[in-house]
Amino acid sequence: MKNLTEQTQQLLKLIGHDETPMGVFYTNVKPDGYGPKPGEIYSREREAAGEIDWAKAFGSFSCLVGNIWLARKKRKAAWISHEECGCMGGGYYAGMYGPYLDMNVYYVSTGLPGTPIEGEHYLPSPESMRAFMEDCAMPLDHEKYCVIKPLEQFSDGETPLVVAFFARPEVMAGLHSLVSYTLGSHNAVVSPFGAGCTNIIGWPLVYERRGNACAVLGGFDLSARKYMKPDELSFAVPFGLYCKMLDSVGTSALVRETWAGVRKKVMKSRKAWGENSDE
């Protein structure tokens, strides 16, 4: 991973960004970092049998994007597993269980009739929510833990499946340009509906599995905005595409005069937010 780390640092310097991206992978080894405590076990069977204690589940809620936020600040790992899930949505979107739960369908849409759960009204109907969850379904044939940690902390025996940046629009402009150039496509970046963790983990892998590896722009989940900096978005790409992006930097727009002008705005933005911009 040494060469990857060096190339990533060169890219970060070029775009004026000071935070190394996070990598997503699966492992059977529980990492040292931030994750939920053991709690409710989510499954369609347990839900149908009325075995899930929803008061306990909502009371011990632990957002995956919130744990990623802590991991970013402390430069450690965030993780989630089936037994230590913390969020029925995060568990599903990270491929910890399947199929999805009816509770999730109603909670994100119109609410559950006859209960105090009013729903988030992020989608207009249970049917639209079911269509989304079926579309973004993750494979379940992987190791126990889904781990998100700084890219520079990957060992030689570990390979990320997804690389995720967190940045403001000026930096995003550079990444958007680079991936479009790398793929030679005007459809290189997509921004589908989803929870914050869906666009960091699930969607990049789903698109890649369908033969359409691309970048996924996220950070629009209203519930997860509190775990991101003001004006900040996420930008996640499958690892193979990220490697191609690194190889394309030297002939891309990022080494030309137009980007140099945008980069000055990147540094002004960092200064305005009180972030290190020593150059």
Q: Is 141 within a domain? A: no
Same domain, yes or no: 6 and 48: no
- Name the β-bridge partners of 233: 167
What percent of the chain has a predicted confidence (pLDDT) above 90?
92
Q: Is 108 within a domain? A: yes
Confidence of residue 2 (pLDDT cuts 50, 70, 90): low
- What's the distance, CA 69 to chain centroid? 11
Same domain, yes or no: 57 and 77: yes
- pLDDT at residue 114, rounded to an integer: 76
Whole-number Å distance between alpha carbons of 191 and 109: 19
Same domain, yes or no: 212 and 103: no
- pLDDT at residue 113, rounded to an integer: 79
- pLDDT at residue 87, rounded to an integer: 97
Residue 40 DSSP label: P
Question: What does the block give as tokens for 139?
Answer: 């494979």
φ, ψ of residue 92 in degrees (nearest 5)? -70, -45
Question: What does the block give as tokens for 88?
Answer: 């029925």
Q: Are strands 233-238 and 145-150 parallel, antiparallel or unpaired?
A: unpaired
Same domain, yes or no: 260 and 162: yes
- What is the pLDDT averaged over residues 35-57? 95
Same domain, yes or no: 191 and 260: yes
With a CB cutoff of 8 Å and minimum separation 6, the contacts of 135 are 206
Q: Are 91 and 97 in contact (CB under 8 A)?
A: yes
* Tens of pLDDT, residues 140-167: 999 999 999 999 999 988 999 999 999 9
Whole-number Å distance between alpha carbons of 223 and 204: 20
Q: Is 174 within a domain? A: yes
- Name the β-bridge partners of 24: 148, 162
With a CB cutoff of 8 Å and minimum separation 6, the contacts of 101 are 42, 44, 47, 88, 92
Range of the domain at 123: 33-135
Q: Is 149 within a domain? A: no
Q: Of all helices (H) and strands (E), which one includes residue 116?
A: none
Among the candidates 107, 135, 163, a domain finishes at: 135
Same domain, yes or no: 80 and 174: no
Same domain, yes or no: 16 and 71: no
Same domain, yes or no: 112 and 173: no
Is the bond preceding 99 in cis, omega lying within 30 degrees of 0? yes
Same domain, yes or no: 38 and 15: no
| Mean pLDDT, the chain, whole residue set | 95
* Tens of pLDDT, residues 168-185: 999 999 999 999 999 999
Among the candidates 135, 169, 185, a domain finishes at: 135
Residue 246 is which amino acid?
Answer: L
Q: Are strands 22-27 and 162-167 parallel, antiparallel or unpaired?
A: antiparallel
- Name the β-bridge partners of 164: 22, 236
Same domain, yes or no: 6 and 38: no
pLDDT for residue 278 is more than 60 = no
Q: Is 50 within a domain? A: yes
* Tens of pLDDT, residues 192-246: 999 999 999 999 999 999 999 999 999 999 999 999 999 999 999 999 999 999 9
Specify the number of domains making up the chain: 2
pLDDT for residue 276 is more than 90 = no
- pLDDT at residue 277, rounded to an integer: 60
- What is the pLDDT averaged over residues 106-111? 96
Same domain, yes or no: 121 and 210: no
Confidence of residue 279 (pLDDT cuts 50, 70, 90): low
With DSSP H G I counted as helix, E B as strand and the rest as coil, what are the percentages for the chain, rounded to 5? Answer: 45, 15, 40
Q: Is 207 within a domain? A: yes
Q: Is 255 within a domain? A: yes
Q: Is 54 within a domain? A: yes
CA torsion through residues 223, 228, 233, 238, sign: negative
Determine how many CB atoms are found less than 10 A away from the CB of residue 31: 17
Confidence of residue 275 (pLDDT cuts 50, 70, 90): confident
Same domain, yes or no: 129 and 173: no
* Tens of pLDDT, residues 83-102: 999 999 999 999 999 999 99
Confidence of residue 109 (pLDDT cuts 50, 70, 90): very high
What percent of the chain has a predicted confidence (pLDDT) above 70?
98
Among the candidates 100, 135, 170, a domain finishes at: 135
Determine how many CB atoms are found less than 10 A away from the CB of residue 186: 7
Confidence of residue 110 (pLDDT cuts 50, 70, 90): very high
Q: Which value, to the nearest 10 degrees, does the dihedral of the CA atoms of residues 168, 202, 43, 158 take?
A: -100
